[in-house]
């Protein structure tokens, strides 16, 4: 059986890494703002799921 908390933690780390990568790659473009917002939202939902 898969430990759900471990899976969520790994997913959160992956999202963090993707967010940093996206920030480094597209930081200068305003078109990234909506993508950034979506990343923040999904990460917040993940963290809410940990409670």
Q: What is the pTM of this model?
A: 0.34
Domain span including residue 21: 4-50
Number of domains in the chain: 1
Whether residue 28 has pLDDT greater than 60: no
In Å, the largest CA–CA distance within the chain is 43
* 11, 46 contact by CB (below 8 A): yes
* 43, 23 contact by CB (below 8 A): no
Nearest to 12 by CA among 38, 37, 36, 45: 45
What percent of the chain stands above pLDDT 90? Answer: 0
* Per-residue pLDDT band at 1 (split at 50, 70, 90): low
């Amino acid at each position: 059986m898969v430990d759900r908390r471990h899976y969520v933690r790994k997913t959160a780390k992956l999202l963090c890494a993707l967010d940093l990568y996206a920030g480094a790659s597209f930081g200068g473009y305003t078109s990234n703002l909506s993508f950034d917002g979506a990343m923040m939202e999904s990460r917040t939902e993940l963290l809410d799921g940990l409670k």
